[in-house]
């Protein structure tokens, strides 16, 4: 990225935190707020008490790390919530499912699962469904991959807090086009956070 900027190649960052010294457009949202929304939703579903697991994505990814820290900060405010397990899925659905299966076997009394990335809730949801525990374990996801939306529709995953990735992609293309034309760009474009549930699923992309 640094070399591209130095060479005069238009660069924008999306769904992440752009290095402040590069002076490039960053497209995303408040990742801490996004994760806080997800974790608070899980606490609400669990009635403020129970055992939870956190699925990290890529620990070195800035957005995943910020979400992870926010999840832990929320749970720390509730004495009745106990974090009993953590997984690292490297933003891979199959690995997330494998990690979730291991956690479910080790903690048969698990009450909730929350993720730090888009792949996590898909793998978690599939693990919950295959274990026959849909409706018994609450799961709150991140973002809006099509398999996740289907799991929400089926009632396997309760909800998701989405960064609106489609909108981020559109703004990334627009930003690169404007940069190529030499137009000034803002430092940040915040695409907002969408709360996706089974009730608003059909209207989500039109909001």
C-alpha to C-alpha distance for 178 and 172, rounded to whole angstroms? 10
Residue bearing tokens 């989405």: 162
CA–CA gap between residue 76 and residue 74 (Å, rounded): 5
Closest CA to 140 of 166, 163, 117: 117
Q: Which CATH architecture has domain 31-162?
A: 3-Layer(aba) Sandwich (3.40)
Let me know: does 169 contact 189? Beta carbons within 8 Å.
no
- Give the CA count within 13 Å in the CB-facing half-sphere of 43: 20
Question: How does pLDDT run across 53-87, given as a tens digit for each residue?
Answer: 999 999 999 899 999 999 999 999 999 999 999 99
The pLDDT tens digits for 80-116 are 999 999 999 999 999 999 999 999 999 999 999 999 9
pLDDT at 24: 78
pLDDT at 3 over 80: no
**Which band of pLDDT confidence, cut at 50, 70 and 90, is reported for residue 196?**
very high
Domain ranges for the chain, please list them. 31-162
Pair 188, 32: CB distance under 8 Å: no
């Amino acid at each position: 990225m640094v070399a591209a900027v130095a060479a005069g190649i238009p660069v924008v960052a999306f769904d992440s935190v752009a290095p402040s010294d590069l002076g490039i457009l960053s497209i995303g949202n408040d990742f801490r707020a996004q994760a806080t929304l997800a974790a608070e939703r899980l606490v609400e579903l669990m009635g403020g008490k129970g055992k939870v697991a956190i699925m990290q994505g890529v620990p070195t990814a800035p957005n995943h790390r910020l979400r992870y820290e926010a999840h832990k900060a929320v749970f720390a405010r509730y004495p009745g919530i106990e974090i009993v397990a953590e997984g690292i899925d490297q933003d891979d659905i199959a690995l997330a499912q494998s990690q979730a299966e291991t956690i479910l076997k080790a903690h048969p009394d698990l009450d909730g699962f929350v993720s730090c990335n888009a792949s996590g809730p898909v793998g978690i949801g599939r693990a919950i469904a295959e274990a026959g525990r849909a409706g018994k374990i609450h799961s709150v996801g991140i973002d809006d991959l099509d398999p996740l939306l289907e799991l929400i529709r089926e009632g396997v995953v309760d909800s998701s807090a989405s960064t609106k990735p489609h909108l981020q992609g559109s703004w990334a293309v627009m930003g690169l086009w404007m940069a190529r034309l030499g137009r000034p760009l803002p430092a940040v474009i915040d695409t907002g956070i969408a709360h996706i549930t089974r009730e608003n699923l059909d209207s989500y992309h039109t909001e």
